[in-house]
């Protein structure tokens, strides 16, 4: 069970059932709700932590190499692979896959920021607009095809409730902008395992 405070409430993410829940209690500190809910085994060593402001910076849109045929193949392969791996799977399962992606030595020198801009550009040429979960998962696969790795961040917001996820590398937002996540509190960060 993961938790994060958002305003006067606390949001819980049950990794086993893929369900969010919340409690409204401005007086009670975070961490005292465990006895109210059935115990659930947490996956990995990732912890929830609220953020007051985004610690990340926006990627520069100009950092994008010109796409080649192999880039397009990698892009579609990443989309298909992520789609097949996410079908009827829990977020905990996707996290374990993302954690263990084994990036090979890159054949082309490219930064995560350049690869992410290339991914977004190629995605804009398709009629397919994945939601944040599949889009982030596919981006992680695309980065992996270039030998690059990044962290997958999950955030929540209350009043109204919303959940969102995005990808970050070395303090740079790869598929989101700061203004798009400023109201979210981080509930889970999935970092890749060391090579």
Total domains in the fold of the chain: 1
- Which H/E stretch holds residue 154? strand 151-157
Tens of pLDDT along the chain (195 residues) come to 787 877 777 888 887 787 887 777 666 555 544 444 333 333 333 444 444 445 777 777 666 667 888 999 999 999 999 999 888 788 888 888 888 887 666 556 788 999 999 999 999 999 988 999 999 999 999 999 988 989 999 998 887 888 899 999 988 899 988 888 888 888 889 988 766
Strand, helix or coil for residue 104: coil
pLDDT, residue 67, reads: 84
pLDDT, residue 103, reads: 60
Whether residue 137 lies inside any domain: the answer is yes
Whether residue 44 lies inside any domain: the answer is no
Give the domain range for residue 141. Answer: 50-195
pLDDT, residue 49, reads: 43
User: In this structure, what is the dihedral angle of CA atoms 182, 185, 188, 194, given to the nearest 10 degrees?
Assistant: 40
pLDDT, residue 28, reads: 56
Whether residue 143 lies inside any domain: the answer is yes
Token couple for 92 = 């905990």
Whether residue 164 lies inside any domain: the answer is yes
Whether residue 123 lies inside any domain: the answer is yes
pTM score, whole prediction: 0.79
pLDDT, residue 19, reads: 81
Whether residue 24 lies inside any domain: the answer is no
Whether residue 42 lies inside any domain: the answer is no
Whether residue 11 lies inside any domain: the answer is no
* Burial annotation 112-128 (CB, 10 A radius, 16+ → b, else e): bbbbbbbbbbbbeeeee
Q: CB–CB of 95/43 below 8 Å? A: yes
């Amino acid at each position: 069970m993961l938790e994060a405070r958002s305003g006067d409430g606390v949001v819980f993410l049950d990794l086993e059932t893929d369900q969010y829940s919340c409690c409204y209690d401005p007086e009670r500190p975070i961490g005292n709700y465990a006895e109210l809910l059935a115990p659930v085994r947490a996956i990995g060593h990732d912890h929830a932590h609220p953020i007051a402001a985004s610690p990340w910076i926006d990627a520069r849109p100009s950092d994008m190499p010109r796409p080649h045929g192999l880039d397009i193949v990698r892009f579609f392969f990443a989309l298909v692979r992520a789609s097949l791996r996410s079908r009827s799977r829990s977020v905990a399962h996707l996290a374990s896959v993302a954690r263990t992606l084994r990036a090979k030595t890159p054949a082309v020198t490219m930064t995560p920021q350049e690869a992410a801009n290339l991914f977004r550009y190629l995605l804009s040429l398709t009629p397919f607009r994945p939601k944040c979960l599949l889009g982030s998962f596919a981006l992680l696969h695309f980065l992996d095809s270039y030998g690059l790795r990044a962290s997958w961040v999950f955030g929540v917001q209350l009043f109204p409730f919303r959940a969102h996820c995005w990808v970050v590398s070395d303090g740079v937002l790869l598929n989101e902008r700061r203004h798009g996540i400023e109201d979210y509190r981080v509930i889970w960060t999935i970092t890749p395992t060391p090579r």
